[in-house]
Structure 1
Amino acid sequence: MTPPDASGDRWSDLGRPPLNAPGLRRAIVRPDGLWTSLEVVSATGSTNSDLAARAADLPEGAVLIAEEQTEGRGRLDRRWSAPARSGLFFSVLLKPAEVPVERWGWLPLLAGVAVATALSRSAGVDTALKWPNDLLVNVGGEERKAGGILAERTADGVGVVVGIGINVSLSDKELPVPGAGSLLLAGAVSTDRDPLLRSVLRSLDKWYGDWRTAGGDPAASRLQEAYAAGCATLGRTVRAELPGGRSLTGEAVAVDGHGRLVLATEEGMQQPVGAGDVVHLRPWTGAEDTRDGGVS
């Protein structure tokens, strides 16, 4: 039975029907595939937190989807929320035992490539990547954040929970901040969440399988090449705000083999910065600009 929405009435918003959990399971959970279970709940605080709490008792490939998240988390514990059934809010459990742990940092970037590839195909929306974890779409000629990715190690250290949030049908009035966007506002050919989710999960299966087969090597799996091709950050001058009030400004010239962003500074140095070291990454025009725009 499809779960009710947060209000208890599954048909309270006919423009945003609930996900078809049985249909999704039939399409996604297969004996020879990555996905081993798929659960849809009407509402929860955070799918990442819920899945991480159960990770030790679940096999790889568990998928947890919420019709509404009341305490959604982004990188550095930033909070966000959206109306019920207005987007795709889900987490997946991955346990890449055959991949060296030092390469697990590629998982959020892998998820970004997989999601962008899927949305370009199934929604007809060109989706770019802002390093390290944002999904960008074009709304009226303006680049806006329509989603984000959060990867967290499980408590036992043997897995990673990857959380993905995508704004699908949010209108202008529903945006959490002016700089946010949605697939609807970007002119998507479809905002039907069931096929969109199927497309994303199949794309994740493909990219994760290739990466795992290559032992997590981002070059051999072509992940590094694909990420660079879709990364809107590359070629731009940015300022990386670091802990302790420090900052580093330079042109983003590459994503290295560890998934770090390489900045070419005015001093002629090429300095890599890791996602865990960056508080904010902002475009830099030479003038002080403290606007967040919802894309950090």
Structure 2
Amino acid sequence: MSAPDTPRRSGLRGFGHSGPSPWTDLDRPPLDEGALRHDLIVPGGLWTSLDVVAETGSTNSDLADRARAGAAQGAVLVAESQSAARGRMDRQWTAPARSGLFLSVLLRPEEVPVERYGWLPVLVGVAAAGTLGRIAEVEVGLKWPNDLQVAIDGAERKLGGILTELSGGAVVVGLGLNVSLREPELPVPTAASLALAGAATTDRGTLLRALLRDFADLYRTWTAAAGDPHASDLLRAYVDRCTTLGRRVKVHLPGGDELVGEAVAVDGDGRLVVRTADGARRAVGAGDVVHVRPEPR
């Protein structure tokens, strides 16, 4: 017998509760929580718990609550659908159920000084770009600071984004990645999905396993180096994939100001260094970057 067509709208729901059938769209099967736990929660590994819920408001908010309650490092929360997902600068992130990977991880990098926690979203971006290149065979770039980008028909489009927040002495890192969205389902025309980029696979379980394993390896290297972006080789890995460097950019700064110039470097604090028309260099720690097309000659 099929499940009711009308989903419940409140609470954090697992697949054992009533709600719409997860098999409504056969191109988007649900994640297998048991198999993911079996493969990823291993002795001595980073991941200590993994939950897949059918729907929630925000995986970041849910894990932040767990962090304040003292949850251990290595918790992973994946949602098949989010109703209140947030991106950078409080932008809304919307996507059909099971059309992407929507997850958050809880980290307690005790070996790392707090001032280096800002490298964690960079670490997730580098891991995700590497995983997608290797498994999905899609070349993914990183727009500063940590948007995942692909090129489709010569145009740069956003594939996913990363959001971090501190809670209960822990860092909660959220990742939203468009996997199987079709063109009419995109939230904005500048968005993209792995399917639209011609990915070799859009199997979310395969992608999630590889992503979490790759991130765990990079995280161990980074924490062993006390979060030093040079000693851990994280800065070089990021610069190699950063699509912003060498480009003319317009940076919308907090407070409403704008900075225009050439993005020439990422410094040891993860800031974007912009050279303005007068030759001055300014390091930007926060802002919304627009890649400016070269003027025709």
What is the CA deviation profile of residues 158-178 of structure 1, one whole-angstrom value per residue up to 9, with x for unaligned ones?
Answer: 210000000000000110010
What is the CA deviation profile of residues 19-66 of structure 1, one whole-angstrom value per residue up to 9, with x for unaligned ones?
Answer: 011100111111111000000000001000000011133110000000
What is the CA deviation profile of residues 219-253 of structure 1, one whole-angstrom value per residue up to 9, with x for unaligned ones?
Answer: 00000000000000001010111133211111111
Does 2:111 match 1:80? no
**Contact 2:275/2:281 (CA < 8 Å) preserved in 1?**
yes
The equivalent of 2:31 in structure 1 is 19
**Contact 2:56/2:83 (CA < 8 Å) preserved in 1?**
yes
Does 2:290 match 1:282? yes
The equivalent of 2:272 in structure 1 is 261
Where do residues 25-104 of structure 1 align in structure 2 (5 Å cutoff)?
A: 25-55=37-67, 56-104=69-117
The equivalent of 2:21 in structure 1 is 9
Cα 1:264–1:4 shift into 2, 3 Å: farther
Normalising by the residue count of structure 1, what TM-score does the alignment of the two structures yield? 0.92
Where do residues 45-194 of structure 1 align in structure 2 (5 Å cutoff)?
A: 45-55=57-67, 56-154=69-167, 156=168, 158-194=169-205
How far the C-alpha of 1:11 sits from its partner, in A, is 1.4
Does 2:262 match 1:251? yes
Number of aligned pairs?
281
**Contact 2:76/2:104 (CA < 8 Å) preserved in 1?**
yes
The equivalent of 1:221 in structure 2 is 232
How far the C-alpha of 1:8 sits from its partner, in A, is 2.5
Match for 1:243: what amino acid? P
**Contact 1:5/1:43 (CA < 8 Å) preserved in 2?**
no
Cα distance in 2 for residues equivalent to 1:121 and 1:207: 15
How far the C-alpha of 1:4 sits from its partner, in A, is 6.3
Query: Percent identity over the alignment?
Result: 57
How far the C-alpha of 1:142 sits from its partner, in A, is 1.6
Cα distance in 2 for residues equivalent to 1:273 and 1:66: 33
User: Gapped runs of 5+ residues in structure 1?
Assistant: 288-296
Q: Which runs of 4+ in 1 moved over 6 A?
A: none
Cα distance in 2 for residues equivalent to 1:91 and 1:233: 26
How far the C-alpha of 1:77 sits from its partner, in A, is 1.1
What is the CA deviation profile of residues 168-198 of structure 1, one whole-angstrom value per residue up to 9, with x for unaligned ones?
Answer: 0000011001010000000001100000000
Match for 2:256: what amino acid? G
The equivalent of 2:8 in structure 1 is none
Match for 2:200: what amino acid? V
Normalising by the residue count of structure 2, what TM-score does the alignment of the two structures yield? 0.92
Match for 1:36: what amino acid? T
**Contact 1:5/1:18 (CA < 8 Å) preserved in 2?**
no
